[in-house]
Structures are given as C-alpha cells and as structure tokens.
Chains A and B, each alone.
Chain A
Amino acid sequence: MDRIPALSAFILCFALTAVARAEVKRVVVLKADGIPASLIEQYIQSPDPATGKHVLPWMSHIFAENGVRLRNYYTRGITVSVPAWSITDTGEHLQIKGNVEYDRFTCKVYDYLNFFPFYVRYATSKRVDMPGVEVLDQAGIPLLSDRFGYGQSYQGFQLFQRGVRWKSLKDSLQHRFTSRSPRELFDEWQTGFDMRSSISDEVERELVTRIRNTGIPYLDSFTGEFDHVAHLTNDPAALVNVLREFDALAGRVWSAIQSSPLAEQTVLAVVSDHGMNNSEDFYSQGFNMVTFLTSPAAGSHNVATNRYLLEKYKLKGLDPFVSLVITPGQDAGYDSSQYPTAMLDLDGNERASIHLRQNDLNLVHALLLQLAMQGSIPDTHRRATRDAVIQILDKHRAQWTQVLSELDEELTAIRAKAARDKQWVRSQPKKFTAAERDLGLDKNARRVAARVDEWEKELHDYADYAQSIKKLLALRSEDLTVRMHVDDLIPKRAMGDANSLEDLRNYTTGPGPQGFIFNRDGVLDLQRSFRRIDYLSAFSNISVQNNPQSGVDSHPVDFITVRLPQADLPLSIGSREDLTGDAVLLYAGSGHQAILLSKYDVQNGLRMRYVPVQLSIDSGTGQIAIAPEKWMAGLPLKLWEDPALTTGNSTREAWLSQWHTESDWFRAAHRTKYSNALIGLHEQFTRWAPPENHSSDGDARERTLIRRFYLRKRRLVEPDMLIFANDHWNFNVRGFNPGGNHGSFLRASTHATLMFAGGSKTGVRRGAVIDEPYDALSFVPTILQLTGKDGIPVPGRLIAELIETGY
C-alpha cells in the first residue's frame, strides 16, 4: 500500500509528459444529468436484433471501440445535481451542498434549480448568471468554460449557466415551426407539441454549427432528459428510448466533429453528474418529511419549504417565483406565518437536509409566550420563569455577542464595497458598443449590479436578525411582563444558530402536557416542563405500515448524519489535536452508530478513519457520551459485512480500524453497497475555503471581512441533519418520484458516466477501459491538462490512463 503513492506519482508524471505531447485544440463535452454508468455499460454491449448493432450503437462506436470509458467513475459528495455539477463544472471542492439551501438567520432560499426567476430577472437586466454561478463567483471559483476566456467557449442551457442566449430561445421557437412541413405541424398539433425538445434541438444545431468554427476551444451541451424520465418511471423501455436519443445526439455531434477541420485535435467527452437508483423491480416509495415534521409526534413544526407540495395539487403550486412556503404544524405553538421551526428541501430524493430552529430559541420563545399570557403562570412562579429565560440567554450571551460583533464588521465592509460598486456601475455606459459586448463588458457591469442588489438585500435581512438578537440580549428580568411584545423579541423567519448533537437528542418542541413544573426550591424544571424529542431516534425509528414491495425495508430512513465538532469528541476516540475539521456522526439507530474522522498532512494528504461508537445520554445532566465500539454488522454503510470491500492482506477488523488515505478508502470500498460514501461525507461536511481574493479593490481588511462574510453565509446554510433514505425510498415532496432517485451514497446513485474519445492527434486511447476508480474532482483537471492549461491548480487527480502510453 505504501508504494501506491509513489507509483501513482510515476504514472502521473508519465501521463503528464504524454499529455504535453498530445495536441488537443478543442474539447466538446456532452453533459447528461443522471445517466448511470451501469446502464451505459449494459446497453453499449447489448445487441439489438432490429439493427444488427448494439442498443446504443454510437456510444459503442465512439467510446467502446474508439475511445476510453471509465468503469468506476463516481460522484463526490451527495448525489444531487447542483452539488454534483458544481464539482464537475469547476474541479473545486463543494461550496454548494444541496439543490436548495436556506440561510438560518434570514430564511433566504438559494433555489438553484428554479431557472424561471433567473430568466425573468435576466430579461429585466437584474441578473446575469444562474444562482449557483453567483455563489461560485462570490467564492472566486470559475467554471470550466470560464478558463477558456469570454467568447472562447460555447455553453448549452444548464444549471451552472452564464447568461441567457435569447437568440437561441427565439430561434428554437422559430425553427420549431419553420423547419417542419405543414403536414408535420398538423401531426404535432394532433399528438401534442413537444416544446422541451425545441430548445435542445436548437442547442444541438448551434453546437454543430460552432464545431465547424476552429476558434472555439470549449463547447458543451447539457441534457436533463434522462434524469427527468428516470424519476418518473422505472419502465426499461422508456429509459432505453431516452438513452437512444442521447446516443443519437452523440452520433450527430461525433459526425460533426469528424467532418470539421479540427477533427484530429478534438476530444469528445460524455459525463454525468450522478447515477440513478432506478430498478424495474421496484417503485421508489416516498416518505413525506413535511407531514412527519408537522405531526405532533415529531414536534408539530411549522415547516418551511422552497415550493408548494405537489401532493396538494394547489394552484399556487404553479407559481414559479415562490421561494418560501410554510406548512403549519398540526399543533404548532408558534405563529406559522412568522415562525417556521423547520426547513427542508422539497427535492429530497434519497436524502433530506433538515434545519430545526435553534433549540434554546424555541425554549425562550415558549417561555416568553407563557410569560406574556395573563394568568398562564402563577405569580409565585413568574420570577423563576423569568430567571430561566435570563439563564438561557446568559448561556448564549458570549457567543451571540461575538457573532453580532463579527457580523457587524462584515456588514460594514459589505456596505462600503457595495457603495463603491454601485458608483462603478453608475459610471458604466448605458449602452455598450458591439466591441464592448464582444468582450463581455456589458455582462460584467450587470453582474456587479446584481451583486450589489443581492448585498443590499442581505444587509437589510441580516441587520433585522441582528436587531432581534440584540433585543433579546438586552432583556432584563423586569422586562418580562405580560405587556411585552414577544414578536419584537424573537427573530422572525430565522432558525438561529445550528443545533448541537445534544440539542437534537433533547429538542424542545413545546410546553409539556403538565405545564411548567417547578422544583421544591421554586426553580423551573426545564427538562420536565417541556416536551422533548430525540430526533435521531425519532427519524431512525420511523416505520411504515404500507410496504407492499418485498425487498424494501419498512424503515424509510437508512441513517442520519450530524456534524460533530472536535471539541465534543472524547479523548477515547482519538487524539483531538491530530484531527482536521469536524467529525461526522452516522446514526442508524440504537447500537448502530459510527464516526468519521479525518486528518490532513502534507506527506499523506487526507486520511480518514471510520470508528464504530456508542452514544449515550447522561440521564442526570442530559449530556451525551460517546464511547468506541467493536466492529459489527449493521453499522451505517455496512462496510463490515460487505463482501465487496477489499482490504488486501489485512483482516477486515485490522484494516477498518486503521487510518487510510482517501485513495486507499476509494480503492477498497468503491464497489461496496455505499461506494465512496466516506469520501462523499467528508466532502459534504468539510468547510472548504475558497481561493484567496488577491484583487486590488479595497484594503486587505475589507477583503478579509468580505471573505469571512461569504464563509459565514456558507456555514449558515448547513443543515442540522442530513438524513439518508433506505434503498428504494425517497423524501421527495415536490412531486412523486416513483421511477427512481439519487441523492444517497448507494452505488447505484454515485456510479456516474465518464467517457472520452478523441482524434488521432489527441493521444486519447482507443477501445480502452479504465478500472481505476475516479471521482468528479478528476474531470476538470483532466480537461485542463488535455487542453494545455496544466498550470491551473485544481485539487483533483488527473485521469492518467486516458492518454496512450508513449504518445
């Protein structure tokens, strides 16, 4: 094992030399959302009796016979589109960690999938880029297409999209009608117009036209059709049909490349962001987390989501601009229009990201409501109740004060920068010349204006939150009277700080059935006065009565993951100072828990260890104790019992009990049921710092504060719990996804597609299959190396086997 890094380095050097000699002048990338490698592999080899060829003849021809396909290519991180494409499109670690994210302080919704508002704002000159691109821009992370310069690339319509080509949309509509005979139009009228395909047809038309142009070194096109169909149905015929369409597209693009002047120097790549857990034998069963969280058993939460639940079939559900919908709890203790207490993403797929309002904020809110209610608390106990409020506030006083102070600094810096940017935008011409537009100066000006606009909203929202917290902190015991206005004190539409593990295991959902209980010495017994829920148990114990499919577990939840700060780890788990970043707790029920630890050093890079543990709660203090456990079956990820885990000459116990590098884990576990879950979890839970901003705008302190503000915002969108579904379960609430899903670390969902083929001068091998496991971080560095942009530092591993030996 120790020799592997050296060997890898040698192969890498060799490959780099080979790449240096290869001549790649253009890369064409066909991006296909959700196409699993297993289906491609199956159908490029299956014969089609009707044609005498394979079911996917072009894929077979281009990649199996004349190219390279990676048999073990995986998503890195959770397998939902936005995070997955963010890695594939940038080659950088995760900044965006869900299809939808919510800011805990302001309830701002980052809805990365909803393209409609973006198109409207683009049309009204208020936005230039899709929301995902805006976040990456704030982090200073460029897209792969940006690496080739403005105007030097062609980008299809996709999630990480810069700008909107109205001309493409207009032409697509025009071609929809002008490219068809009246007879064809009549047929379409009778059988239903398919407007979706008109845009993809237009993108293909443009792509093929631009392939003839030698001056565009990077072109890509995106299709989400497979993902769309595979979510809806598990009918193999429907999946094959959509794969055949993609195959035919690949054929047309390949043919266009072959007849173009740069045919010999062009590389064609097909890449997907994730796999798809779609099986002909099973419908994916949905479990409605919104209904669960709003039920009294789960705390009667007011649940905020990014859209209306499709299940209700409301007309409002058609509103594409909606950003926050609150479903009231069945027995909610707080005003549902102002106080959501849980937030989750409707596009759950095989995982649910759940935010709960900070436990003590709930507690304070409940206490204040009782105090403000005439006669609810006997006068003799009011003082004890007031003391309890102040006591809770005191517990958070130092931390909240520090957050407010830091936030204030950051907002001041943002305000200054926004003012300067605004002035700069004003100085820009109202109309740009054609030459300026060719350089993208108009877009740039609009981009800055959009950022200022966003900052101004954020300044307002964060200031509101800060104001409420300041009021809370300023409360004195004597202020807590029936005349106080609770709504002025508790921040509206805010979740507050993240919950700790202790909070989640002992979460306050409202006053207990017996009301407030006071000790003999007159002190309010907070533990007994409130209803408490252990959410880890609550979620893992969910069981359904209706489980009509044999082979599907009756428990929708597989395991729950929670961030575990280093400070909460006991010494028995390992020496704390060695660790890098926080640990991740994986909870699959009582007696089935484990912790993922990680550390980083220059010599070995990232190393990880997976430790079985047992959590227990001290009944007296309510504190959580974590003790190491023995390896056994039934732990989250089921590594111990998975026959596909390869541990070399070591015994399982010995191997699993040690620290291993990322690549060792990858090679050992990628064929297991949960494939690269450990690497994915590390990617998901690590707070990756974006590159430093070395621009000359503003002073260094201001840049630091703006960067800190960005990092804070990223931290604020982290959910309390990431819940993973059992096989053939999903947490979708926006619609039903009975066909199949992704989102988990099940190999069916992580196993993605990556294939290359190139002209004779590119050096790309022919008829080769790469078995070495790679993940999405490897895509961009490989493309950059191929195109001679090897000086750009990106973290991923180069796919060394791609290039012919000795080329």
Chain B
Amino acid sequence: MLQAIKQLGQFSVLLVCFFGGAVFAESIPQLSTLTPVAPQQPSMFRVDRIEVEQGAELLTIFAQKRGDREIPLISVLRDTLGDRNPDNDRLRYVWSWPYTPPSWKQRLTASIPFFYRRSGASRSSENKKLRPLIDLANPDRGLVQDLLSQALQSMVLDRNGLLVRASSRSYRGNSTDSGQLHTLQAFTVMSEAQSQSATDRLFSDAEVEQICARLSLNRNTLGMLVSDGRLRGVYRKQRFTEEVSRGANWDLLRQAAERNGLIFEPLSFGDRRPSHALLWIERSANGHQPARAFDSAFLGISNPWVDTRLPDWKGYIATRYFDAENRQVSAATPGAHPVELIPLALYSLEHPRVPLLLVDFRDGSRPKRWEMARRAASDTATGVLGLTGFANWEYHAIQMGWTFVRGRHGSPVDRYSRLGAYTELRQLLALDSRIDPEFRSEIAKRLDRLALNPMDTNSEAESQIARRNYSLLMSKAGTGALLGNRLHRDRQSELARDLHSRFTRFLFGSATAVTFGQYHHRDVPGYSLLSQLDIHRRAASQSSFLRALVAGGVRPEVAWAPALVTRSIAQLADPRMAALEKDIPTLVERLFVQSQDDSIRRQCLKTLHGIDTVNARDILARVANNKQIEGAWRDLAVQYLRGTVEQSYALPAAAMNSGCE
C-alpha cells in the first residue's frame, strides 16, 4: 500500500513537473476596461499601449508586414500604480503570443527518443489559460519546479530503466528547447524594438535591458535568481558578445570567400547591422566552372568548383551589379556590370567564434544532418547510456575536454547558441519584407528542415496562433476583473516580500493551503495598497539610486544634475521610507558629506529633518557639532533640530515635486 502511495506521489510530481511545461502555468490576467492610447508607427514593428484599469499598461509589439495583417509578438504588463511617476513602475509579465502549450500528440512524440522532426502544429490555446513566458517581478517563480523536475529526472526516472530514462530525457530536452525557442524569439523582438528611433519607443532603455537580460538569464535554472541590479550588466555583456561575434564572423567569412573565389554578401534585417551573410558563386558565362582549390574550413559546404550541378543550376539565381572596385551598386550606377550569382550558403554571424551554417542551398539536409548527429550523440550519452554530468564525473570531464577542443577548433558545440541562431533567422525572416519573396521562400523552406523538435510549430502556424492568442486576450477585455484580481494579488505578494521574511511568507502560504484558500494574508487593506506600494517602490528605487551615487565616494553633482539628486533625496523625506530602507539616513549623510552643492546639501538636511527618526536626528546633531563643517551648515542643522528652520532654506516646490504625482 505504502509503495503504491509512493508511486502515485511520484507520478503526480512527474505530471506536475513535466506537463507543467518549461513555462510555468499561470492563470491569464484578463483585461478590464481597455483604453487605446495613440499607437506608434515604426517601420518593422508597431508598439501599442493599452491602459488597464487599476493602474497598469499592456504594451504590445506587433510585427508589420507589407501586404499582410500585423502579428502580435509579445506583450509586457507594466504596473504603474495608476500614476505617471515612472519611479514606482514595475514590469510584470512578458507574454510571447506565438507560444502555445504543445498538444498531446506533440508531447507524445517529444517523448520518443531520436524522433527529430516536427509533429504538426499546436492547437491554439483557446479555452486555455494563456501563459506568460516570464514574470519579471518574480523571476524565480518556476525555480522550485525546475529543480524538482531535475532532481526527479536524476533520482527517479534515470534509475527506472532505459525506456523511461530515454523517453523522459527526450521529453525534457524537447520541452526545454521549445521553451527556450520562444524565449529567444521574444529576446530578438525586444532587441529589434529597441533599435527603432527613440520617438517610437514605449519602453525605456532600462526596461528593455531588464526584459532582455531576464530572458537571457532564463536559460539557466539558477539564472532566475540573479539580482535586478545586475541586469544592466548582463544585457550589455550579451550585446557586446553579439557585436563582437558579428564583426569577427563577418570578416572571417569575407576572408574565406575571398580565399575561395566566392562572393560574400552581408544580410541585414530591418535597421539591424548585418546579422547573417550569404555566400554566392558567380554563375559561369560559358556553363563551365573553372576548377580551383577550395578550403572548406569554417564554411561547412562542399567544394562548389567541382560541383557538376552548378553549370546547369535550376534553383534561385540573383543578379547583382558591381562597380570597378568590386562594390555592390545599383544597376543605374555608371560603369556597373551585372553578375549572375548562385546562392551557396547562409550563415548566422552572431554565433560565437565561427559563423554557423544555417542553409546549404545545394544540400538542404546537410545542416539538419549535422544537427541530428550532434543531438543523437548527446541523447545517446544521456538517454541511452545514462551518463550525466553530476553522476559520472569521468563523462563530465571527457565531455568538457571534448567540448573545449571542438569549440576551440570552431565547431558549434553550444546547443543553446545553435538554437538561438536558428530561432533568430526564423523570426527575422518571418518579419522582413525587403528580401526578394522568392528567395525568402527558398531560405524559409530550407530553414524549416532544421526544425527537429516535435513541439516546434512553423512560422505560418505561429502567426495564426499569435493572432488567436492575442484576440483571446482582447476578447476577454471588459468581461471581468481577472487582471485586476491578479494585479491585486501580485501587489499584495510584492508587499509581503518587502515586509516579511521567507519563512513568514512560507507560513502564510501554508495557512492558505491548509484552509483550502479560505485564508489569504493581507498586509494592508485594498484601499491603501497602492499608496503603500508607492512608498515601498519609491523608497527602493530612490535609495538604490543614492547608494550608487555615494558608492565611489565622489561628488554626486558632477555626474548628475543637482536637481535630479535633490529630487531623489526629497522623495525620501518620509519616516515610512526610512523604516523600509534602514540605510536611508546614512546615505543622506554621506551625500551631504560628499557633495559641495548647496541645493543638495540643503535638501539632505531637510530630508533628515523630514525622516525624523532617532538615527536621522543623530546625524543632524553630528553635523551641528562637527567643527570641520562650515558654520552656516551647522547652524542650519541646529535649526532643523530645533524645528525653527527658515522658509528661505526650503527648495522651490517645483524641484521637490517634479516628476511626482
């Protein structure tokens, strides 16, 4: 009996962990009254903002394709607390509209080891809960489930025979890839959106950095735990790495083309720098290709100079015009001569170290064969032989050594990077309308062959799913207060995180579970929630800003306009904030000491007076008694302590309140 219960328990956990999916399940926030705000009109994308009741905004990025209906790609919910002060805004959910949970058929085929092909489109998730890709306000939400799932795999499933191990590993791999594919798609869209002109932006740079960094960190289980303060660095590092790879691969491929007598053509999508490149071969005028040496290093294609199909090529041929300096020009340029070109290969330039072959126009299955071979090797090791990094250190060491050596030699050893390259091209190709449609269709057809995941869906189907998902969201608008409830619950949780320890929160959660949801802990009544959160969020953001200001021990007014600094200090003149962020008085004191700007120093003393805690008064007293500080400041500190400060010391109201509502 006990054994049966144990097995049932294991099975339940297995169901939750696996079929809960890589993307955590959440009930869909429904929109209440939707108020359209003037839509923006960028070229490749349109960003739409919809105000939501109870103080939030839904920002949606649409792809605009010539001659086609626009496609909703991602939406982000920004919790504004209903005001215009950006200091207390928080980003919450990111939805990827082309994503929908896999169908049962897809799940089933995903569990079949070595089954490397798409198994049909997903149903649109009508009548289902739309799932956000990530919760930016609570990024570690799926962590426990993830860890549990991994533990279950290693401790239970891997020990239950070859069949269970191989199929569960296969399912996990496909499921993870599917989740990552949509994360990468969302990342590509956000990066694209940022490259638009500043006037079209509805996301601030900081928000884009936050979203992209979180999406990027989502690939690692523990990456979800990285602090918000690191996100800017993560984003910049990622962008830098991409830029470096792009430039190096651009030149590597150009030089390889030069060495082999081929034509190199960078490929740009939208306003981006070239992220891909094509290799062409000049079509021989007399139908005979001249024989010449060919160095295939890093190109991954066979020698085109001995390819008997090329003289009689039936596939796509492009005509380009070149000037005397071999630069591509328009046909109308004086001296331009036309050259007929046969496409050989298409590469991703953003892949680390070497360009990644994505399309071989002469051998469409070559990239797929390579990818299948790599996956099969990995699946054999983990699924069939049961070798894992944790349990078999020898395997781990050999794998690391192999990966290092192969990677050093330029092999694309990182599955995530390969998936990223494939996803990015698929996404960009679906959005771009400037490439010759015939050629785009050729590329898309070949790229589709790289879809090895049974849970994958093709671009056309994804567009339909995205529209249906978004319509589903919109159709529920005004039908209920689900989003309002969700927001309310999230805000309560946010407040609880600020006010209570993890353990206390665990107790609250247990109480809710024990009472079957009858008890929900509330720290503040609903009517004061917004004002409480406003204080919490502003205290956090302003104190964080001041911490950064004082960190270098330098004068704050040099790197920041004094008005911005005083505004920030002024916002902290509230004892409730000092109660939340204990170091606020100390920060203000340090600012007073480090600054030489009168307005900042005055505001520091005024804020200390406003905080009015023992600590703040102590600091004022220290200032008053410090002989090294000029007399006027000491006098002012004394006046604040006595409560007799003259009004002339006060800052103009505009400086105090700018940006605040």
Contact = CB atoms under 8 A, between A and B. Distances in A.
Contact of B248 (A52, A546, A738): A738
B558 A546 contact: no
Interface majority SS on B: helix, strand, loop or mixed? helix
Nearest to A183: B227
Given A283-B247, A550-B327, A191 B230 contact: yes
A546 B258 contact: yes
A473 B247 CA distance: 52
Contacts of A318: 408
A255 B247 contact: no
A313 B410 contact: yes
Contacts of B225: 186, 190
A216 interface: no
A312 B259 CA distance: 14
Interface stretch (A230-238, A382-390, A493-501): A230-238
Interface string B256-276: 011101111110000000000
Interface stretch (A24-32, A74-82, A284-292): A284-292
A288 B258 CA distance: 11
Nearest to A51: B560
A543 to B, nearest CB: 8
A352 B257 CA distance: 23
Contacts of B410: 313
B559 A736 contact: no
Interface string A189-211: 01110000000000000000000
Contact of A546 (B222, B234, B264, B353): B264
Contacts of A57: 558-560
B206 to A, nearest CB: 9
Given A51-B560, A232-B244, A252 B552 contact: yes
B645 to A, nearest CB: 27
A57 B558 CA distance: 6
A58 B558 contact: yes
A251 B558 contact: yes
A248 B552 contact: yes
A683 interface: no
Which of B220, B226, B266 has the most A CB atoms < 10 Å from its CB? B226
Contact of B405 (A234, A238, A256, A315): A315
Contacts of B325: 547, 553-554
A196 to B, nearest CB: 12
A361 B547 CA distance: 69
Interface stretch (B235-243, B385-393, B503-511): B235-243
Contacts of A256: 553
Interface in B500-524: none
A545 interface: yes
Which of B223, B233, B251, B327 has the most A CB atoms < 10 Å from its CB? B251
Contacts of A235: 239-240, 243
A251 B559 contact: yes
Given A52-B561, A315-B408, A191 B263 contact: no
A65 to B, nearest CB: 10
Contacts of A291: 259
Which of B237, B252, B262 has the most A CB atoms < 10 Å from its CB? B252
B306 interface: no
Contacts of A543: 326
B544 interface: no
A531 interface: no
Contacts of A422: none
Nearest to A254: B554
Nearest to A255: B554
Interface string B558-576: 1111011000000000000
A488 interface: no
Nearest to B220: A190
A736 B251 contact: yes
A738 B227 contact: no
Contacts of A83: none
A67 to B, nearest CB: 13
A291 B409 CA distance: 19
B327 A549 contact: yes
A548 interface: yes
Interface string B368-410: 0000000000000000000000000000000000000100111
Nearest to B236: A241
A318 B328 CA distance: 38
B226 A190 contact: yes
B255 interface: yes
Nearest to A232: B244
Interface residues of B, number: 55
B655 interface: no
B192 to A, nearest CB: 15
Interface string A229-272: 10011110110010000001001101110000000000000000
A546 B254 contact: yes
Contacts of A673: none
A61 interface: yes
Given A183-B227, A233-B240, A736 B248 contact: yes
A191 B234 contact: yes
A284 B325 CA distance: 17
Interface string A49-72: 001110001100100000000000
Contact of A738 (B251, B326, B560): B251
Contacts of A51: 559-561, 564
A550 B322 CA distance: 11
Contact of A53 (B230, B244, B559): B559
A255 B229 CA distance: 25
A200 to B, nearest CB: 14
Nearest to B221: A190
B211 to A, nearest CB: 16
Contacts of B243: 232-233, 235, 238
Given A283-B251, A286-B255, A237 B239 contact: yes
Given A283-B250, A315-B408, A52 B558 contact: no
A248 B559 CA distance: 9
A241 B552 CA distance: 17
Given A313-B353, A545-B326, A187 B554 contact: no
A187 B261 contact: no
B129 interface: no
A736 B247 contact: yes
Contacts of B266: 548
The 8 closest A-B pairs by CB, nearest first: A52-B561, A738-B247, A736-B248, A554-B325, A255-B554, A233-B243, A57-B559, A235-B243
Given A187-B230, A191-B234, A544-B326, 16 more contacts: A52-B563, A184-B227, A186-B226, A233-B240, A237-B236, A238-B243, A252-B553, A313-B408, A315-B409, A543-B326, A546-B254, A546-B257, A547-B325, A735-B248, A738-B247, A739-B244
16 contacts: A61-B558, A241-B240, A248-B559, A251-B552, A251-B554, A252-B552, A254-B554, A256-B553, A283-B250, A285-B251, A545-B326, A546-B258, A547-B327, A548-B328, A736-B247, A739-B247
